[in-house]
Structure 1
Amino acid sequence: MSQLVIFDFDGTLFDTYEAIEHSIRLTFQELLPIHPPPSPAAIRPLVSTGAPPGDTFRALHPDPGAFDETRWVPRYREIYAIHSQARTRPYPAARQVLHALRAQNQPVAIISNKAAAAVTAALEKSDLLDYIPEDLILGYGVPGVERKPDPSSFTDILLPRLKAHVGADWTAEGRVLMVGDTLTDIHYARNIGAQVCWCRYGQGDQEACEALQPDYIIDALEEVLALVKGQAP
């Protein structure tokens, strides 16, 4: 019976840190030009938590009380859509891993807090989109999808869509592996009753993530294949 592998996107399948940092700084330069944009050293700890963009901008804003999320976050998403693709790249083993999972008939999905359109665009640009059904790519902008770690994107949206691919009798109990790099991904896995594989190579806070004792820890994406085969290191 097939095991479902759910991947996070940022810091898991794709290295997007440069794109995120660059877009944050461009947003500050445009919307708050009288103030120097935040430094990379200030941005990195916030990105490592997997926090929503609004929380990140509020923490970086020199006057949090004057921060207008309804203005800043949509503009950030627009800037990211324009500038991110040149600074976004799949991790070296992404194609190998997705190809092997497809060859093994393992169902694969992506659940991200990033805009689903940005995820799809990055996969298409890297010629990886064929490995994942587009209706199993969930993120911001997909109707009904709430941010991880809210479990409803799994229970209410992903599972019904998945069963259309693998059969209505497929059950999730004990057969879901969540692969991600931040605290948010670990909490999400626990909320949906999945095993969790934490990617130490990603963007997450190492000390905080290890403290949550994920089921598995990997140092390179290709190590996921051993977990799916039941050969965890």
Structure 2
Amino acid sequence: MKEKLNLQAVLFDLDGVLIDSGADIVASVNAALTHFGYKEEPYEVIIKFVGNGAKNLLIRSLDYQGINAETMPNFSEFFDWYVAWYRSHAAEKTVLYTGIGELLEKLKKEGVFCAVVSNKPLSVTREILKHFSIDSFFDAVVGPEQLSRIKPDPEGLALAVSLIEKKRNITILPEKVLMVGDSATDIQAGRALGAHTCAVTEGFGDRKKLLAENADIVVPFAGELVTILFMPKV
């Protein structure tokens, strides 16, 4: 990114971007699997299924054991049990990535509005943001329950922008929005909105697919955006 961006809003994915939540997600999936009579799987297996929402996470975890979620008579019960369990255990080992607090403080100071657009259940996302005392930095939090289409469709991003506009009584131009995510679908959604994009390479997404999207900005961790977005003009 050569020129300095003039941003009105930054939209963040949650898992792998703001929080390192892998250990708690995997533990909760395994808790659900064992509760319903299935076997646990290693971290390295389940973490690869993260990124397209809790339902897809569970479908893939079951499929790995040869179980078809579509023919399960109690998949909805399985899903609800997982969500309830995870909500109660979502921040036991989860941590904020380094630099996130500083980044959010700087964006607030510079008058840039923030939102979270995650495929994680909305109630869980809100609980996590509150747990880490960063909920006040976000003018909008969007989850899959509010949408008919999740990322890579830009519907969630557009809703987040709309919610910020209503709250702040402003108009936000797509070209003044930055989408920050760790998966190819995050970058695709940002581009579909007409926003700038930032790829976070050390998250949970498939790194090869992520880099193939050629995001406008590429960083290992989202906290490094402080330097990139707010470096002094030379």
TM-score category of the 2 structures, normalised to the smaller one: 0.7 to 0.9
Corresponding position of 2:21:
16
Corresponding position of 2:176:
175
Do the aligned residues in 1 keep the contact of 2:99 with 2:224 (CA within 8 Å)?
no
Amino acid at match of 1:52: G
Matches within 5 A, 1:23-172: 23-31=28-36, 33=37, 35-47=38-50, 50-61=51-62, 62-65=65-68, 66-67=71-72, 68-133=74-139, 136-141=140-145, 143-144=146-147, 146-155=149-158, 157-168=159-170, 170-172=171-173
The farther-off stretch of 121-130 and 176-185 is 121-130
The farther-off stretch of 35-44 and 108-117 is 35-44
Corresponding position of 2:3:
none
Matches within 5 A, 1:210-225: 210-225=211-226
User: 1:231 Cα deviation (Å)?
Assistant: 7.6
The 3 A distance-change label for structure 1 pair 227 and 40 is: same
The 3 A distance-change label for structure 1 pair 43 and 105 is: same
Please list the CA deviations of residues 114-170 of structure 1 after superposition, one character each: whole Å capped at 9, or x if unmatched.
12221221122212122223xx011134x4464222222233x323321124434x2
Q: Distance in 2 between matches of 1:171 and 1:122?
A: 27
Do the aligned residues in 2 keep the contact of 1:145 with 1:153 (CA within 8 Å)?
no
Question: Tell me, what secondary structure is at the counterpart of 1:86?
Answer: coil
Corresponding position of 1:7:
12
User: 1:26 Cα deviation (Å)?
Assistant: 0.4
Question: Tell me, what secondary structure is at the counterpart of 2:208?
Answer: helix
Please list the CA deviations of residues 81-128 of structure 1 after superposition, one character each: whole Å capped at 9, or x if unmatched.
111121221112111111111011111111111122212211222121
Question: Tell me, what secondary structure is at the counterpart of 1:198?
Answer: strand
Question: Tell me, what secondary structure is at the counterpart of 1:37?
Answer: coil
Question: Tell me, what secondary structure is at the counterpart of 1:55?
Answer: helix
Amino acid at match of 1:5: V
Amino acid at match of 1:27: A
Q: Distance in 1 between matches of 2:88 and 2:214?
A: 37
Q: How many percent of aligned residue pairs carry the same amino acid?
A: 22
Do the aligned residues in 2 keep the contact of 1:138 with 1:145 (CA within 8 Å)?
no
Q: Distance in 2 between matches of 1:206 and 1:2?
A: 26
TM-score, normalised to structure 2, is 0.85
User: 1:183 Cα deviation (Å)?
Assistant: 1.9
The 3 A distance-change label for structure 1 pair 126 and 159 is: closer
User: 1:206 Cα deviation (Å)?
Assistant: 1.0
TM-score, normalised to structure 1, is 0.86
Q: Distance in 2 between matches of 1:195 and 1:202?
A: 19
Structure 1 stretches lacking a partner, 5+ long: none
User: 1:64 Cα deviation (Å)?
Assistant: 2.6
